[in-house]
């Protein structure tokens, strides 16, 4: 028995087994079946409006498509299917259910536009889900900040203790990155949410479809403006992959921070048992595998982005079969992104901070040096001299084995005449932070406001 194809009249011989195996995409593009059915139902209605199908025929086809959708929920549905791709499978199933009527469904339609349509419908849902999951993670970061609003940690540059910040201020840094990621996903969605149907293979359909009406039917915001562009381009998917990659980049850095901060060396925080694993050999181990996998999967998503990028480079207009290679990276990036967002939220929810540890790390280091230099500058010493004085104070302290808290007011004033007795209070990292009260700073009032604002912004996103 020869397999049903959407082409074949022009051929004297069928495709070889080797070529069929090599070129078939059903094993991965079957994930588009829901989108293919939705798009095909809308197309049947469009065929009704241009008079190719009678109203009853439209209803009959739409019902048959719906029945295929139901069948597709059964686990064995795809077993043994040897169709070239999901579009071919759906039409074969339609013929089984609707007989000859099914022969009209592909009137004035090409798989080139259909594949663009299906990916857009699929991605739109995935982006919506990812946006919601990202907002949930951002909510968990805010909650984690609110659980320890006054905790002081050393912030780092070059992985060296730099200046003291509040724990929520640190978390809100990621909130901001994720807020931009949310925007990027939303912007990608806007590019995805454009109807390609009506473009035909590349020249525009030969039937006078009201494309605006099809767009409204499928919930698209607008219609594409050039049929060749539709067959040729995948930049809407690249926009998604870029947004996904940047989100993964931020997730990976968050994972890296928390792997460090939960280590014995730092000891700042404890990850929940539920998000860690043990060692088959070493009984004492509690490993941050969830975070390591987030970090690891970020590389995989960047790979998906570059994979499609490179696939598209150098293709002559318009459609080329190379473009079938678009789907696996898109699917995998969406899966990994969504999996990581949910995982990261679970990790955030499980975290117990031990505030004494980072507070001690701040107190024992010279994160207050900038505060001292700035205090001198506020009293009239030029900043360059102030920097020198504070630097010498640090050097002297290191030589003498003194921590900031070991200095008395009298000693400080004796060290350099520019110091005043009240400046000794700045030896406590929490004091210097109070000078950083401005938008975006770690001053306690600014951070409290930023937390409130973050909660309000989250409400807008949800």
Residues that bind ligand ARG (CB under 6 A): 25, 29, 85, 111-112, 115, 319, 321, 323-324
Nearer to ligand ARG, 145 or 200 (CB): 200
**CB-based contacts of 440, cutoff 8 Å, min separation 6:** 446, 450
* Catalytic status, residue 158: yes
Least CB distance to ligand ARG at residue 78 (A): 15
Nearer to ligand ARG, 112 or 381 (CB): 112
Nearer to ligand ARG, 292 or 328 (CB): 328
Q: Where are the alpha helices (DSSP H) in 8-85?
A: 17-23, 26-29, 33-49, 55-71
DSSP 281: S
* Size (the chain), residues: 462
Query: For residue 309, how many C-alpha atoms fall within 13 Å in the half-sphere facing its CB?
Result: 11
Nearer to ligand ARG, 25 or 290 (CB): 25
Distance CA 111, CA 86 (A): 10
Least CB distance to ligand ARG at residue 47 (A): 20
Least CB distance to ligand ARG at residue 272 (A): 42
Least CB distance to ligand ARG at residue 325 (A): 8
Marked catalytic residue, from 158, 262, 307, 350: 158
* Catalytic status, residue 279: yes
How many helices (DSSP H) and strands (DSSP E) are in the chain?
Answer: 18, 6
Distance CA 367, CA 170 (A): 15
Least CB distance to ligand ARG at residue 147 (A): 48
Least CB distance to ligand ARG at residue 195 (A): 18
Least CB distance to ligand ARG at residue 311 (A): 11
Nearer to ligand ARG, 26 or 409 (CB): 26
Nearer to ligand ARG, 112 or 298 (CB): 112
Buried residues in 434-458 as b, exposed as e (16+ CB within 10 A)? ebbeeeebbbbebbeebbeebeebb
Cβ atoms within 10 Å, residue 109? 24
- The answer to whether the CB of 1 falls within 8 A of the CB of 37 is no
**CB-based contacts of 21, cutoff 8 Å, min separation 6:** none
Nearer to ligand ARG, 27 or 180 (CB): 27
Distance CA 6, CA 13 (A): 15
**CB-based contacts of 264, cutoff 8 Å, min separation 6:** none
Distance CA 432, CA 425 (A): 9
Marked catalytic residue, from 23, 263, 277, 279: 279
Q: Could you give the residue numbers annotated as active site?
A: 158, 279
């Amino acid at each position: 028995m020869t397999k049903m194809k959407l082409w074949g009249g022009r051929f004297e011989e069928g495709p070889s087994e080797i070529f069929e195996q090599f070129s078939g995409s059903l094993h991965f593009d079957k994930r588009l079946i829901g989108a293919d059915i939705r798009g095909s139902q809308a197309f049947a209605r469009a065929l009704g409006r241009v008079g190719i199908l009678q109203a009853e025929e439209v209803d009959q086809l739409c019902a048959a498509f719906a029945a295929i959708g139901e069948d597709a929920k059964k686990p064995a549905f795809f077993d043994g299917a040897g169709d070239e791709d999901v579009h071919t499978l759906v039409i074969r199933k339609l013929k089984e259910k609707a007989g000859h009527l099914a022969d009209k469904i592909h009137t004035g339609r090409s798989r080139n536009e259909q594949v663009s349509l299906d990916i857009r419908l699929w991605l739109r849902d995935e982006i919506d889900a990812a946006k919601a999951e990202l907002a949930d993670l951002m909510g968990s970061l805010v909650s984690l900040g609110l659980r320890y609003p006054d905790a002081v940690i050393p912030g780092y540059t070059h992985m060296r203790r730099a200046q003291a910040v509040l724990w929520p201020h640190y978390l809100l840094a990621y909130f901001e990155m994720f807020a931009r990621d949310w925007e990027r996903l939303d912007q990608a969605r806007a590019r995805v949410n454009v109807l390609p149907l009506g473009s035909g293979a590349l020249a525009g359909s030969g039937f006078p479809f009201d494309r605006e009406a099809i767009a409204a039917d499928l919930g698209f915001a607008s219609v594409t403006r050039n049929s060749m562009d539709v067959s040729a381009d995948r930049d809407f998917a690249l926009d998604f992959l870029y947004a996904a990659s940047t989100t993964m980049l931020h997730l990976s850095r968050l994972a890296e921070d928390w792997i460090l901060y939960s280590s014995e060396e730092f000891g700042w925080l404890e990850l929940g048992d539920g998000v860690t694993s043990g060692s088959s050999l070493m009984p004492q181990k509690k490993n941050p595998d969830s975070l390591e996998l987030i970090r690891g999967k970020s590389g995989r998503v960047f790979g998906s982005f570059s994979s499609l990028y490179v696939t598209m480079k150098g293709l002559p207009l318009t459609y080329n079969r190379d473009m079938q290679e678009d789907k696996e990276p898109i699917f995998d990036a969406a899966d990994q992104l969504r999996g990581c967002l949910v995982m990261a939220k679970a990790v955030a929810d499980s975290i117990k901070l031990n505030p004494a540890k980072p507070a001690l790390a701040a107190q024992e280091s010279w994160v207050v040096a900038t505060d001292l230099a700035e205090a001198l500058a506020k009293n009239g010493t030029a900043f360059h001299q102030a920097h020198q004085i504070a630097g010498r104070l640090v050097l002297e302290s290191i030589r003498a084995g003194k921590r900031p808290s070991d200095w008395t007011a009298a000693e400080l004033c004796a060290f350099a005449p520019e110091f005043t007795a009240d400046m000794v209070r700045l030896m406590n990292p929490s004091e210097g932070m109070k000078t950083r009260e401005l938008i975006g700073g770690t001053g306690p009032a600014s951070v409290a406001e930023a937390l409130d604002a973050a909660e309000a912004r989250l409400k807008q996103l949800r």
